[in-house]
Structure 1
Amino acid sequence: MTAIVAFVMACVGAGLGFRCLVRALDSRGATAYRWLLTAAVAIGSGIWTMHLIAILGFGVDGTPVRFDIPLTLLSLLVAVVVVTAGVFAVGRDRSRTRGVVLGGILVGIGIAGMHIVGMFAAEIHGTLSYDPVPMVVSVVIAVGVATLALMVAFLTTSFRGTAFAALLMGFAATAAEYTGFIGLQLDVTPGTSVLPGASAEEFIFPFIVVFGSFLFLSSAFVALSPIRHGGVAAATTPVAAQGRGSN
């Protein structure tokens, strides 16, 4: 059940982000950059919310599991910052193909990096390490499917296209997350000491409140900002090129 909810949250964040991306490609100057930033925050925070929900179902026999607070927040920062770089690569590059490929690589790295940092934040009675093979597979999934999602989002302004792209991005994030779980190697040493950090439940409530408020406000702005030009042609013109063309 947590896997389904995690997937849905990643799709919701990606869907909002891709609608903002459409607005960015339809805008110029500072307005375009604000839309790109909103898109990046929506996608990145949606991916991180997926991770939080996924770790709600992460348990280890013989030991409680808690999470180091600074490292967990660092995983959020990794997701948002690297995804921002990827979204801006898509929006600003004059070459459509290069922008989508570079953006997909960066978003995929952001997904994988977020997961790795987030799981190394786990505190257990014992040690945690990774099998490199599933980790490589998870990175390949994240990069490949994220690139396809950005390609779909970049080539269409339709709601159906955005929904399909959001499903792809949700799959990229969730499949990479759970493939990474497969690669976890745990060596449990039973103990009774109190583990530092916070539980996944203690993280999830405040962030869901913040993320839910962000989704509501951003969705309202998207709904009140219709696409002026419409069509795929408008959506395939990079932001940087639009800005230069208006001079």
Structure 2
Amino acid sequence: MHNTVDGFGYEIVTPLVAYLMACLGSALGLRCTTRSMLVTRSGRPWWLALGSVAIGSGIWTMHFVAMTGFTVEDSPIRYDRATTFASLAVAIVMVGVGIFIVGYRGARGAALFTGGAVTGLGIASMHYLGMAGMSLDGQVDYNTFTVALSVVIAMAASVAALWAAGQLRGLRWSMGAGLVLGLGVTGTHYTGMAALRVHVHGGGEPGAGAPAELLGPMLIGPLALLLLVAAVVMCDPLMVTGRPAQPRPEPRPGVPAHPVRTPRHQATRPQRHPHRPLARRRPRAAQRR
């Protein structure tokens, strides 16, 4: 039989908190991606890896924060820990592949679309693998068209966000890119949930824990990762400016730090020797003779 599925158990609270978590992880990760383009190639992998962890943790946290408001009538919901944390690993790895492509090839042309496509597929894979870790007393299926639409939303938002991050602008660009990617992640989740259909087999076991009680302990680790990335990014001097500070050159011995400017009318006047008169120019007529 069909069931009653409710994805907004806490009304607007869970979608809003989920969106904020997606924006936080996306903004931190995209800022790390921008930061990686301002350093040498030897230091670039560290910033890109940090960005992968931030974006992957952010979208994973967003997904399961939103799932705390998901309930199915007459059926308790459980989550397999191995599959649930495997979705976190998939998110970090696939997002990492996408931003590594952009970090080394640039945010333009084929590299941008390839990196954005891989990143979007990572977001969608995280969502549907996380849903596969959910078990209930029934059968779950999806509408194919709506699933494809959710994947397209993830890919389009990833391309737009990576393009903005690759412009090497200030903090506002990274925040704007984070808002775009956060909107894409949230849109992917709720579009995928709209594609969900559940057919309940029978009555569930009484006394099953609520989704918030089941997912709460699992959210601690990814939230700690986000806080760690935030601390690293906030301590970086290029966080706000986005450009390396150029130190002033030290003055050499005997050379003033600020050179003295000579007025223009003095610079064009010939210098007169104190014991030698100035040579007079001969008339042109005398020179021709």
TM-score, L = length of structure 2? 0.74
Does 1:90 find its partner at 2:85?
no
Gaps of 5+ in 2: 1-12, 244-289
Q: Which amino acid aligns with 1:141?
A: I
- Residue aligning to 1:58: 70
Q: CA deviation at 1:185?
A: 1.0
Partners of 2:48 and 2:18 in 1: CA distance? 24
SS at match of 1:42: helix
Aligned to 1:245: none
For structure 1, list consecutive stretches of 5 or more residues without a partner in the other structure: 232-247
Larger radius of gyration: 2
Q: How many residues align?
A: 230
Range 154-163 or range 95-104, more displaced? 95-104
How far the C-alpha of 1:200 sits from its partner, in A, is 5.1
Give the CA deviation at 1:17: 0.7
Closer/same/farther in 2, CA of residues 31 and 117 from structure 1, 3 Å limit: same
CA displacement at 1:179 relative to structure 2: 0.2
Q: Taking structure 1 as reference, are residues 107 and 69 closer, same or farther at Cα in structure 2, changes over 3 Å only?
A: same
**What does residue 188 of structure 2 align with?**
176
CA distance in 1, matches of 2:16, 2:147: 21
Q: Deviations over 1:116-140 (max 9, x none)?
A: 1111211111111111011010001
Is 1:219 the equivalent of 2:230? yes
User: Which of 140, 147, 160 matches 2:159?
Assistant: 147
Shift of residue 199, structure 1, vs aligned partner: 4.6
User: What's 1:33 paired with?
Assistant: 45
* Amino acid in structure 1 at the alignment position of 2:101: A
Partner residue of 1:104? 116
Q: Assess, with a 3 A threshold, how the Cα gap between structure 1 residues 101 and 197 changes in structure 2: closer, same or farther.
A: farther
d(CA) in 2 for partners of 1:95 and 1:47? 21
- Aligned-partner Cα distance in 1 for 2:84–2:181: 22
Matching of residues 1-247 of structure 1 within 5 Å: 1-93=13-105, 96-193=108-205, 199=211, 201-208=213-220, 210-227=221-238, 230=242
Tell me the C-alpha RMSD between the 2 structures.
Answer: 2.3
| Shift in alpha-carbon separation, 1:87–1:59, aligned structure 2, 3 A | same
The structure showing larger relative contact order (alpha-carbon pairs under 8 Å, at least 6 residues apart) is 1
